[in-house]
Structure 1
Amino acid sequence: MLVLTRKVGEQILIGDDIVITVLDSRGEGVRIGIDAPRGVKIQREEVLRAVTEANLAAAAADAEAADALKALLQSGAVVSTDATPGRRGVEVDPAEPRPADA
């Protein structure tokens, strides 16, 4: 890792087309500006981490919902499908235990 000390207004060049400029320094924070081609992704690490964690949680929830539906279908609790045009659904026999009750 390259460690540099820069003052407000000074720049760091990365390659031929990325320029990082120190805009302001306040307390323990530094404001920087990044000039890069549109095709270069620039993301804050903490935002990327939060999105990744949310995606993993959503994928786990989807897997749990799929497992619950699979268990419901395998239990034989599905009696018939809803034939209303434009709607999809199932009717469940109330006498059959739900997977969560089993």
Structure 2
Amino acid sequence: MLVLTRKPGEALMIGDDIEITIVSVSGDQIKIGIDAPKHVDIHRKEIYIQIGDENKSASASVENLAGLLKLPPK
């Protein structure tokens, strides 16, 4: 993990097209701004994990359905 120190108003770049700016710091809370292309999905980590879990669950349901559709010929 790379750890950087930034002050409010300062930014960092990820690649050529993602910029993360420190907007403000208040106590133990930091506000950041993210400027990225529209095709880049940005989620809080807990939401990202939840989406992954739901996708795995949906994929298992589709696989179960596919197994049910393989009925023997009449």
Alignment TM-score > 0.5, same fold:
yes
Matched letter for residue 4 of structure 2: L
Aligned to 2:20: 20
Is 1:49 matched up with 2:11? Answer: no
Structure label with greater radius of gyration? 1
Aligned to 2:40: 40
Counterparts in 2 of 1:55 and 1:15: CA distance versus 1, 3 Å: closer
Residue deviations 1:16-41 (CA, integer Å, cap 9, x gap): 22111000112222110011111222
- In the alignment, the residues of structure 2 paired with residue 43 and residue 28 of structure 1 have an alpha-carbon distance, to the nearest angstrom, of 21
Extract unaligned runs of 5+ from structure 1.
Answer: 64-68, 70-102
- In the alignment, the residues of structure 1 paired with residue 53 and residue 2 of structure 2 have an alpha-carbon distance, to the nearest angstrom, of 29
Extract unaligned runs of 5+ from structure 2.
Answer: 69-74
Aligned to 2:5: 5
Counterparts in 2 of 1:3 and 1:57: CA distance versus 1, 3 Å: same
Q: TM-score, normalised by structure 1?
A: 0.51
Aligned residues: 70
Matched letter for residue 9 of structure 2: G
Counterparts in 2 of 1:29 and 1:56: CA distance versus 1, 3 Å: same
Give % identity.
48
Normalized per residue, the structure richer in helix is 2
